[in-house]
Amino acid sequence: MNIKHFTYILAIGLACMSGQAALALDRPSPFSGGVEDNAHRNSAADEEGSLLESGLSWGAHIGFTTGGDNLEDLQLGDKSTKVDATGGGAFYLGGGARYDFIDMPLELHLSLALHTDGYVPSTDAKFRRFPLDMLGFYKFNKHRFGGGLTFHFSPKLEVNNEEESSKSESFDNAMGIIFEYGYMVIEGVSLGLRYTSIDYKASDQIEIKGDQLGLMAHVFF
């Protein structure tokens, strides 16, 4: 998957969200038949509060993940290199869009992030990739249950050792699956527990597992 494919996926995701927003604005309200129906609608809106508030919003995502293969003693080039990093760690920082449906307790997320891990004093190493997450959630009161697909672009392991020349290994773009449970702490802020299943492969047959468990924080505005 190259940058052209990445652009297509991102454009399709944004187009879907824009289309849903347009449909929500054009859709006639099922509660517009009379005073009693309007009162019922207002009562239901009061009960659900802002949790079912519909529309497009923007958000930031921060997370810490752990898991995957330990990359210590990974073979880079013609010799083994000590790498203090894992295939599933560690720091996740991103942003994107969220769409809440007007008549269903559902929401869609589209986000792009930087995910990176690894360093020790004697060897500066990092395994970084750029995840594009396309997720859907079902909301029940303050709880969210969902998942979807994640596309990791340009995965790369870089090692900068003072005693040796710098080494790197680039991996193919990868696709994985995400499952996540979230709890809305306050309006616009939720905490979640996320599981991701994904593998990375390089052209020289190196393969590492990136399965991970992470704690996530989402802020929408």
Mean pLDDT for the stretch of residues 61-74: 88
Question: Phi and psi (nearest 5°) for 209?
Answer: -90, 135
At 95 the pLDDT is: 98
CATH of region 3-220? 2.40.160.20
At 206 the pLDDT is: 85
Using CA atoms of 57, 100, 215, 7 in order, give the dihedral in degrees to the nearest 10: -60
pLDDT above 80 (res 79): no
Of 41 and 213, more confident = 213
Q: Which of 20-29, 112-121, 137-146 shows the lowest mean pLDDT across its residues?
A: 20-29
pLDDT above 80 (res 178): yes
At 45 the pLDDT is: 47
Burial class of residue 92 (count of CB atoms within 10 Å of its CB; 0-12, 13-18, 19+): buried
At 204 the pLDDT is: 74
Instruction: Report yes or no: 208 and 87 within 8 Å, Cβ to Cβ.
Output: yes
Of 77 and 184, more confident = 184
Q: Where do the domains of the chain lie? A: 3-220
Of 209 and 164, more confident = 209
Which residues have CB under 8 Å from 75's CB, separation 6+? Answer: 81, 206
Query: Band of the pLDDT at 100, cuts 50, 70, 90?
Result: very high
pLDDT above 60 (res 83): yes
At 51 the pLDDT is: 44
